[in-house]
Structure 1
């Protein structure tokens, strides 16, 4: 019996057509989504928590009445996320990996949405390429391992845009569909207020499509409904704008932040990404692409660029409002433009070239450039330029004894307070006397504990022969104060950004 093996001999164009047919299948979007989630899960529990994540965890851990009291005057714009995290941590705990997993899942949902959206606006190949590139963009992998709402926000805006594009293309005037869309749009504002800027993107798509008065009227009513439902969080955000007044002292709005930091983090990846982004309009506008693709490019460009421009202008003329993380929701559009740029580059190859292979090689090369950034992001001190809260807690746990006192440096800014270590990793401090604690965050409608200054703790320290001072600054002010009370430094444990001092007295 003789077996016959048939070897495919199709030309590159035929293989490219077969690949496009496979990519058009519905299964590819979930596959890319799973891939993106897996990438974000790599080393997800390795970095220590940092100040912003501490705000999330501490908000989520407190009883609901206390949480609602807190968001009544601070952090209302994150209230929906805090409520979700309260339920999540109740089921899965507060370890770093546990609280960051929802963000990794959010990245996967966003990546799948990028595939679906780019496929509908352009081609199946662009959709898959965009989804794969999205998965490794540094801001995505960073937010995919962050206990904040930004990754879930990306998922929300992508799928809202998929829905909106579909409604407009179908010329839908269904009151039910547009009402549900209004509710979903408003809900996204409660997830993160700045997602309201997506309405500008959708307005651009409506303007480009010109779907007729009936559809425009239905959308206008939906828009009004979304703004009405979202009005309470907008009002709360304006009332609490003082909590981001610190942005005015940070000078975040710089060219380096805009062109490198906010999406790409490192210059090498930024150079590659911007080269592809700049190639996107060249390919769509000069290579005889369909009118629909030009409209898609216009909407994606507005999505990628307009929010940053508006925030920079507002930051300069109105009030501090720009932060690198606040435009994370634009990254899906950035990924689509990068995919279009890669398609343009591949299109310059000779006709005999296998463009499917060339595209795959391009994606792999971009991923290779992203690897060093991902490695850096997953280091133990990767957050906030060296947060070492967990490692500091481990040092205290390894050397302190039950009955010892512990004090924390209160001289640094709130997001770097060393006291966060005892709140985030309480088991490491079991048996120690937190002599400065006046009121726990669990009992007060504020982000953090209320602690007394060391100068007021003479009586509380009277019965302690050993004190552990956890210092977050080189000045170590608590050490000098304790020495004035008769303590002497016995041992010093440098951690990374923090230093732990053991002080004793006879």
Structure 2
């Protein structure tokens, strides 16, 4: 009787021994550590912090930054008085900066450090979004691309709330993703709070909620049983998050004439120039956009939230600029950088790793001129207040007075900021009520300028270049042409400084 072959179930392989002589047991797999999962966010976030801190104090404060510096020196009550008249959309940032500067000081770096930290956090969160939605490599490449964009660095080192808008835009979408997956009430509360903070950083950043609607719609469509509950939960939470913003939106709408009067109407030329304006470099912009086009091979359902995050603010601001009031401003659209970087990263991750590195090196090389440009002393918009103040500080004498153009918010604030760091500073005798006490950004001035004639030396500082500084204060012309002569004339970037001395009788 012969034995027939029988099939037996193989014994389970034990990981701690090798009793089987045929197949060696697999070694025990170590428990996965938590720290590698944070690397795609930690590496670019740290890199952004380092990049933004390099020469962060070198550029002179812009004319908007000197407003931040001046308003932050006011009391909270004075700031609240201000936002009732103008800059309501920046009120929360001004209050925050008031307390921050009380601790950190008012140097250029101290003023800009909160934005630097916010942008570094925003880059890290964007990378984490890329990791969760796509892959760790996609997240890492997203963050690296953002670090290379010149305007990411430029607005990181900017004492304005635009970096906070980038941070809360990424945070809100990340918290929404967690709320969808977990569904815990506390997660939805966190998401609602992030929507409020997003609106407080900049009301126009709420246009990114279009991406949230797309993500909710996609999830609800796949899970039809809980579609209604999910949509209602999201809509209710988002509306609750926006409810505290209604007073700010109401004030902002009524301050439109003073807040946005300088914005030019949207044109095709301005639309074509927008990519370069948003990225801070035409070459970087079109290289990244070219990579974004390559994502067409990806399924639309995976790209839809990022596409909505990129297109939502662009389309909304364009439509509003055409139909209502011009708002087509590059810094209002910085929130589109993260989704564009992520779409570009998705295209790159299909390549071999060495090619990914090569493309990033090419992008870094192309970005060098833009990165250098944002660190020059006069990179910001506005006059070179530092140079103008140095001219006066080195030559000022006791009894000197300084005169500025009437009804100008920035030149007096900028000169006050930098003159306070000089060994000598002329008096400003035309101020009747300082701007901090007017409830506006402009000081109330004396109508009678005859007292100026008694000064031995008069400085005139104008926030543009002109051959005749007196043209900024025509009511002084009879006095200066009769009793004084010009003994000094300087023209730093976008500024004119002139010194007049009394003629001996």
Distance 2:329 2:264 in 1: 12
Aligned to 1:392: 388
| Bigger radius of gyration | 2
Aligned to 1:315: 321
Which of residues 421, 445, 452 in structure 2 aligns to 1:451? Answer: 445
CA apart distance, 1:366: 0.8
CA contact (8 A) 1:280 1:338 kept: yes
Distance 1:465 1:250 in 2: 47
Distance 2:108 2:326 in 1: 30
RMSD: 2.3
Aligned to 1:325: 331
CA apart distance, 1:479: 7.7
Distance 1:250 1:390 in 2: 32
Aligned to 1:341: 347
Distance 1:251 1:198 in 2: 21
CA contact (8 A) 1:78 1:190 kept: yes
CA contact (8 A) 1:76 1:236 kept: yes
**Which structure 2 residues correspond to residues 241-390 of structure 1 after superposition, within 5 A?**
241-249=256-264, 251=266, 254-261=270-277, 263-282=278-297, 284-285=298-299, 294-344=300-350, 346=351, 355-384=352-381, 387-390=383-386
- TM-score, with length taken from structure 1: 0.85
Aligned to 1:503: 500
SS in 1 for 2:498: strand
**Which structure 2 residues correspond to residues 18-417 of structure 1 after superposition, within 5 A?**
25-170=37-182, 172=183, 174-210=184-220, 211=223, 212=226, 213-249=228-264, 251=266, 254-261=270-277, 263-282=278-297, 284-285=298-299, 294-344=300-350, 346=351, 355-384=352-381, 387-410=383-406, 414-415=409-410, 417=411
SS in 2 for 1:27: helix
SS in 2 for 1:322: coil
Aligned to 1:441: 435
SS in 2 for 1:25: helix
CA contact (8 A) 1:126 1:340 kept: yes
Change (3 A) 1:485 1:169: farther
Aligned to 1:8: none
Distance 1:296 1:154 in 2: 22
1:36-87 deviations in whole A, cap 9, x for unaligned? 1111111111111121112211111111111111112211111111111001
Change (3 A) 1:423 1:24: closer
CA apart distance, 1:374: 1.2
CA apart distance, 1:443: 2.2
Aligned to 1:420: 414
SS in 2 for 1:501: strand
Distance 1:492 1:147 in 2: 31
Tell me, which stretches of 5 or more residues in structure 2 are unaligned?
Answer: 1-32
Distance 2:193 2:164 in 1: 17
Aligned to 2:4: none
SS in 2 for 1:500: strand
CA contact (8 A) 2:208 2:312 kept: no
Which of residues 442, 452, 460 in structure 2 aligns to 1:469? Answer: 460
- TM-score, with length taken from structure 2: 0.85
Distance 1:224 1:268 in 2: 40
Higher relative contact order structure (alpha carbons within 8 Å, sequence separation ≥ 6): 1
CA apart distance, 1:191: 1.9
CA contact (8 A) 1:40 1:141 kept: yes
SS in 2 for 1:433: coil
CA contact (8 A) 1:175 1:218 kept: no
SS in 1 for 2:85: coil
Distance 1:157 1:142 in 2: 18
CA contact (8 A) 1:23 1:128 kept: no
CA apart distance, 1:280: 2.1
Tell me, which stretches of 5 or more residues in structure 1 are unaligned?
Answer: 1-20, 286-293, 347-354
Distance 1:228 1:492 in 2: 54
Distance 2:338 2:332 in 1: 14
Distance 1:297 1:400 in 2: 61
CA contact (8 A) 1:244 1:321 kept: no
SS in 2 for 1:491: strand
Change (3 A) 1:123 1:360: same
Distance 2:167 2:413 in 1: 33
Paired residues in the alignment total 459
SS in 1 for 2:93: helix
Change (3 A) 1:301 1:156: same
CA apart distance, 1:252: 7.4
CA contact (8 A) 2:171 2:194 kept: no
